[in-house]
């Protein structure tokens, strides 16, 4: 019978749980969507509850991890009301013409001319 220590509790469950949480921390560190220099932490808690006669007890091994938060994404929104009366929000300005809009309107574009009568470049 092996004497109880961190490596022998539950046939190594404490080490296994720690290693599992460590993988989460390492994955979080490599995630480009998280704050790069934020602290990460792993907590390993071993709770021992003896019986009233102090002859034996129960043990619980728990781990928890605190990871870096995701990097906030800042954006803007344009608010308005649609033709059918619904209100809506758009990340892009719905009144702003797109390149495709200009292509559709190409036949309505007027070519400017310089004072010399040449087409402007």
Q: Does any domain span residue 99? A: no
Q: How far apart are CA 106 and CA 28, in angstroms?
A: 49
Alpha-carbon gap, residue 28 to 71, rounded angstroms: 12
Of 73, 53, 60, 83, nearest in space to 13 by CA: 60
| Structural domain contains residue 72 | no
| 46, β-bridge pairs | 61
Model confidence over 41-83: pLDDT tens digits? 999 999 999 999 999 999 999 999 999 999 998 888 888 888 8
Top pLDDT among 96 and 3 is at 3
Distance CA 49, CA 52 (A): 9
Domain count, the chain: 1
26 located within any domain: yes
Q: Which domain holds residue 45?
A: 9-66
Rounded percentage of the chain residues whose pLDDT exceeds 90:
60
Domain membership of residue 88 (yes or no) is: no
d(CA 20, CA 63): 9
97 is a domain residue:
no
């Amino acid at each position: 019978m092996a004497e109880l220590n961190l490596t022998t509790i539950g046939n190594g469950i404490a080490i296994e749980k720690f290693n599992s949480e460590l993988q989460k921390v390492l994955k979080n560190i490599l995630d480009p969507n998280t704050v790069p220099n934020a602290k990460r932490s792993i907590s390993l808690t071993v709770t021992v509850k003896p019986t009233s006669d102090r002859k034996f007890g129960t043990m619980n091994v728990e781990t928890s991890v605190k990871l870096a938060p995701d990097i906030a994404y800042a954006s803007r929104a344009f608010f308005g009301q649609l033709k059918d009366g619904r209100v809506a929000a758009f990340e892009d300005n719905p009144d702003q013409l797109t390149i495709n809009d200009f292509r559709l309107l190409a036949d309505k574009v007027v070519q400017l001319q310089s004072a010399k009568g040449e087409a402007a470049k």
